[in-house]
Amino acid sequence: MNDRYLNVVDVEATCWEGPNPAGQPNEIIEIGVGVLDLETRVRVSKHSILVRPERSTVSEFCTRLTTLTPEQVADGISFAQACELLRREFRADSRAWASWGDYDRKQFHRQCEATGVRYPFGSRHTNAKLAFSAARDTRRRFGMAEALQVAGLPLEGTHHRGGDDAWNIAALIADMVEKQTWPG
């Protein structure tokens, strides 16, 4: 097992301003993956995988938040295909991975269970939000954009787009690796 590379994952899911409409669960519509070389602390690749929802729709609120339209995600791949792509292209089932908070990991578990799709990741997950707080010796939990400000790093791209958010989270992790405060 090679621990040199870390997959940094950020998902966007169908969402509504209020409660979910009846029969419409949150479904992943974008999987952002940033690959970080932990030895050099260089972000080596950034990917955005659009996923076609099967049991819910993209609301106007969701489009305002993520910029993703129903038409864009309708051209995406199925959730099962996306999970297979994560295993095949990113070695997700054997490579360590991280996300900002625990939502992404839990959403994958929920959606895999609901659809009968094999969970694409291995067990080595790090909650980068908790690691960031621990590195600053605080119980306060920072949102990603605020954490970038605290760390003195720029927000690159569009916030609430999976690929861009994964890229920014990878920058925060690289900073923690450099300061020797990353637990992974």
What's the predicted TM-score (pTM) here?
0.96
Domains in the chain, number: 1
Q: Is 50 in contact with 76 (CB distance < 8 Å)?
A: yes
Low-confidence stretches of the chain (pLDDT < 50) are 1
Q: Which domain covers residue 143, as residue numbers? A: 5-178
Backbone angles phi, psi at 98, to 5 degrees: -145, 155
Cα 21 from chain centroid (whole Å): 24
* Cβ atoms within 10 Å of 118's Cβ, excluding its own: 10
Give the helix/strand (H/E) hosting 46: strand 42-50
Q: Examine residue 123 and state whether it is found in any structural domain, yes or no.
A: yes
Give pLDDT, residue 1.
44
Q: Examine residue 184 and state whether it is found in any structural domain, yes or no.
A: no
Query: Sheet holding 42-50: strands in order across?
Result: 42-50, 28-37, 5-13, 97-99, 125-127
Q: Examine residue 107 and state whether it is found in any structural domain, yes or no.
A: yes
Q: Examine residue 183 and state whether it is found in any structural domain, yes or no.
A: no
Specify the CATH number for the domain of residue 130. 3.30.420.10
Q: Examine residue 124 and state whether it is found in any structural domain, yes or no.
A: yes
Q: What is the pLDDT of residues 91-109, one digit of tens each?
A: 999 999 999 999 999 999 9
Q: Examine residue 108 and state whether it is found in any structural domain, yes or no.
A: yes
3-state secondary structure of 129: helix
Give pLDDT, residue 184.
74
Q: Examine residue 42 and state whether it is found in any structural domain, yes or no.
A: yes
